[in-house]
Structure 1
């Protein structure tokens, strides 16, 4: 029923804690897809140790082209009905999977959900109790093109959305923005206001809460993603 897509790269410091939070929530027929993008630390050893003990873990060597391509590759390997995205340095709260599945089952029209997160530091101490409140998260296509609030660490979607998501264009700013906007255009996304993830912030995060990119760089990104989005939407209309 569930495919968890976890993209890794030099994640030895926090990976075991994340794996320990995900695996107990999965059923015997679920899968944890791990795509590694060329780690040079102990990440591979950690993955191999867990995979030897748990057949639900499916390990792949990623494309080596960065975090967006790595997540796209992992999503492409998924086989189950519901796809969850996972970052290597976060921690899932124990009720995350069941709460998300319950929402999908009671809202059959919804293709994608984003659940709230608690922003924490390296020691999992609370920085902000609600990512949604801190970032003023709202649904909406044009709203999130102008200022993206969609976050992959809280994201899950139905496998039927894969045909619209993949391939993820190389020029988009981040995979979660692309996926969120694809669902938002169809008005089939929803927010779960209950925090279900400890969203860890540290010096080596692959993403930023508040971008440091210049105005012109952000404008360039918005133009690029708008162009490829409307091409994809038109093609799949």
Structure 2
């Protein structure tokens, strides 16, 4: 029996002043890519040598495709990377984490179910020196799928997220007003009951005080309610737009 070819993947990474950490992350990603896969990197005009390092990397590896963010901030940066992707399955990647060496291998089989649109793995939260802070992100956040559950308390996390490229037609463009890109992608996919949380811990999720995103917000309850209400209205608006097509 002939072995089926591996599904081609696009890894979409957003970078900004990540020179200190990015090599470790790239070293965990590249061994998992075939020669037909691609690494899309959108850089938000780094000033610490990240862009120059990436240019050197691109010259050595044709799988690397570089873009600069035309928007502003993390959400626009990820949206830019996602927009440029070309393959059926998209993996999101932070610049400062470390992937387990079997992350891609363990994630792809979940997409054999055609109803699955988004797969979100568990994470191990670590500090700057990779010392474990929280052994399971999913246990800490009590994560599970469900649109209304995640409106109230989002458990989507981009560092563990992979999704079908067909979702690009639904999620792009990402409104600047949404709290975070991963919440936006997760809510739209969950509306169609297409999100699967998997128990495998496939990422060392580094928290070092310089991250572009945070796990716990310091915003007031009023502000959090406004964010959730705004996200709900934006999702409803996008769904209506999709249904009109």
Q: Same fold (TM over 0.5)?
A: yes
Q: After the TM superposition, which residues 14-25 of structure 1 pair with which residues of structure 2 at under 5 Å, given as runs? A: 14-25=21-32
- Out of 137, 142, 145, the residue aligned to residue 143 of structure 2 is 137
> In the TM superposition, what whole-angstrom CA distance separates every residue of 1:153-173 from its partner, at most 9, and x where no partner exists?
000000111100000011000
- Out of 52, 61, 72, the residue aligned to residue 68 of structure 2 is 61
Distance in 1, matches of 2:209 and 2:181, equals 21
Q: Is the 8 A contact 1:38 1:64 kept in 2?
A: no
**Which residue in 1 is equivalent to 2:97?**
90
**Which residue in 1 is equivalent to 2:107?**
100
Q: CA deviation at 1:64?
A: 4.2
Distance in 2, matches of 1:103 and 1:26, equals 18
> In the TM superposition, what whole-angstrom CA distance separates every residue of 1:12-66 from its partner, at most 9, and x where no partner exists?
1100001111111001110000000010001112212211111000001112400
Matched, 1:27 2:34: yes
**Which residue in 1 is equivalent to 2:52?**
45
Q: With structure 1 as the length reference, what TM-score do the two structures score?
A: 0.98
Distance in 1, matches of 2:173 and 2:236, equals 14
SS in 1 for 2:14: strand
Q: After the TM superposition, which residues 1-237 of structure 1 pair with which residues of structure 2 at under 5 Å, given as runs? A: 1-105=8-112, 107-237=113-243
After superposing on structure 2, the runs of 4+ consecutive aligned residues of structure 1 that deviate more than 4 Å are: none
SS in 1 for 2:217: coil
SS in 2 for 1:196: strand
Which blocks of at least 5 consecutive residues in structure 2 are unaligned?
Answer: 1-7
How many corresponding residue pairs? 236
SS in 1 for 2:169: helix
Distance in 1, matches of 2:93 and 2:175, equals 20
Q: Is the 8 A contact 1:118 1:197 kept in 2?
A: yes
Distance in 1, matches of 2:71 and 2:176, equals 13
Distance in 2, matches of 1:29 and 1:152, equals 23
| Cα root mean square deviation, aligned | 0.8
Q: CA deviation at 1:5?
A: 0.4
Distance in 2, matches of 1:78 and 1:53, equals 20
SS in 1 for 2:40: strand
